Structure 1
């Protein structure tokens, strides 16, 4: 009996030290954008480029939206340049996808918050079900070039659904729809907050101000369209998706 108790105590101690008794703590750890992990991945990317003359990214089509176009391929970095993919990365059970911006110039590592993408996927599925039943989309009116507001009452929502912003913890961002059925996020609230916080910097009216978010955050604005400042308000732009 004494040996049994000793074994149980030893097992408990092992689980305590390894964190296996705290799945909530593990989930929290996998959902925090640690700056040291970002820097470690960026250093690995730069060293890989120096060695091979290319960046370690997965192949995507040229028409892939700019912020999703260059996902990091960790199989090319592990174990030669990194011991493992970061714990908060999708590849390691986390909620972030690591991506590159400016890969042709000075590559920078940024994050896609996959929780935003999942929320949008769930909402898009509800719209598809509505269209199958009614043979038309639940839209109210056109509010921009190819951008439509959504009839949330037709979808039986008591309150308009919104996604949690990765740029500001208190912001809930509105959802809109393109004429092709794609769901987009309106980042106006975040952009205006960053303008108030940091100023316009090198940007002027007519520039794609999504890049202001990227400059001052570890994240990129997924499911987005170019937005700019006009007459003191943030509006959607027409034309090119990126200032690059």
Structure 2
């Protein structure tokens, strides 16, 4: 009997160590940590000071969208001794975030890209690209503004529009596309809330997307530029650098 009890306890220990630990790790890798952000921000500041203004970023093409253009190079930070390990929330260490910079020239600030959004964008983009291989035009839905459209999911074989989890709120965001069938996230609801929540001096013609990373840890990646008209966010596609 004692042997059976000991065996059962051993099995339970193995099960708990094998199941709970990965969940714990998963949670650590999915929840943004303010201390981690501050640590990496300090490391970036030190690197920049020691390198006469150079930043620890990966080289990207000049036409890379603005919020994905200045991804942090953790290898450079480690090699120079400014960090000892990569944050658990970082993609490079099994996390679901990419660390990026905004305002790289004036005041580099460390922010996050939620890669779960990127996965949803890629999934829909793949289906649209397949559709374009056989059709002249993208799967246009309702026109939302000049050059911006809803996606006709039925045409691309998706029964239910994907739910894009907002990094800013508990709501789900929608995907839109331009005239070329390029997919973007519609951050309109988050921007509307931010315009009414945070102090700002944006006027028509300004790119108002920066109000989000200015007040939160996240950048609105995979988005078109937005401006403000009559107090509300409006997508604009005139800016060549998204």
Contact 1:208–1:242, Cα closer than 8 Å, also in 2 = no
The residue matched to 1:30 in structure 2 has which SS?
Answer: helix
Aligned to 1:129: 130
Q: Of Structure 1 and Structure 2, which has the larger fraction of its residues in helix?
A: 2
Aligned to 1:44: 43
The residue matched to 2:156 in structure 1 has which SS?
Answer: coil
1:72-83 → structure 2 map (5 Å cutoff): 72-78=72-78, 80-83=81-84
Name the CA distance, whole Å, in 2 between partners of 1:177 and 1:237.
12
Name the CA distance, whole Å, in 1 between partners of 2:214 and 2:20.
38
Name the CA distance, whole Å, in 1 between partners of 2:127 and 2:215.
34
Per-residue CA deviations over 1:121-151 (Å, capped at 9, x if unaligned) read 0111122222334454211354333322221
Contact 1:191–1:213, Cα closer than 8 Å, also in 2 = yes
Aligned to 1:187: 187
**What is the CA RMSD across the aligned residues, in angstroms?**
2.6
Aligned to 1:208: 207
Greater shift after overlay, 126-135 or 56-65? Answer: 126-135
Name the CA distance, whole Å, in 1 between partners of 2:13 and 2:171.
41
1:27 aligns with 2:26: yes
Name the CA distance, whole Å, in 2 between partners of 1:207 and 1:81.
36
Report the CA distance between 1:177 and its aligned residue. 0.9
Per-residue CA deviations over 1:1-55 (Å, capped at 9, x if unaligned) read 98xx69x95x949x85xx8742122111101111110110010011011111211
1:175 aligns with 2:178: no
1:1-244 → structure 2 map (5 Å cutoff): 12=13, 16=17, 21-53=20-52, 54-78=54-78, 80-168=81-169, 170-199=170-199, 201-240=200-239
The residue matched to 2:153 in structure 1 has which SS?
Answer: coil
Contact 1:66–1:241, Cα closer than 8 Å, also in 2 = no
Q: Which runs of 5+ in 2 are unaligned?
A: none
Contact 1:127–1:137, Cα closer than 8 Å, also in 2 = yes
Name the CA distance, whole Å, in 2 between partners of 1:134 and 1:145.
22
Q: CA distance change for structure 1 residues 12 and 78 in 2, over 3 Å: closer, same or farther?
A: farther
Name the CA distance, whole Å, in 1 between partners of 2:233 and 2:221.
17
User: How many residues end up aligned between the 2 structures?
Assistant: 235
Contact 2:141–2:149, Cα closer than 8 Å, also in 1 = yes
Contact 2:224–2:237, Cα closer than 8 Å, also in 1 = no
Q: Normalization by structure 2: what TM-score?
A: 0.86
Name the CA distance, whole Å, in 1 between partners of 2:157 and 2:237.
32
The residue matched to 1:175 in structure 2 has which SS?
Answer: strand
The residue matched to 2:30 in structure 1 has which SS?
Answer: coil
Name the CA distance, whole Å, in 1 between partners of 2:208 and 2:97.
23
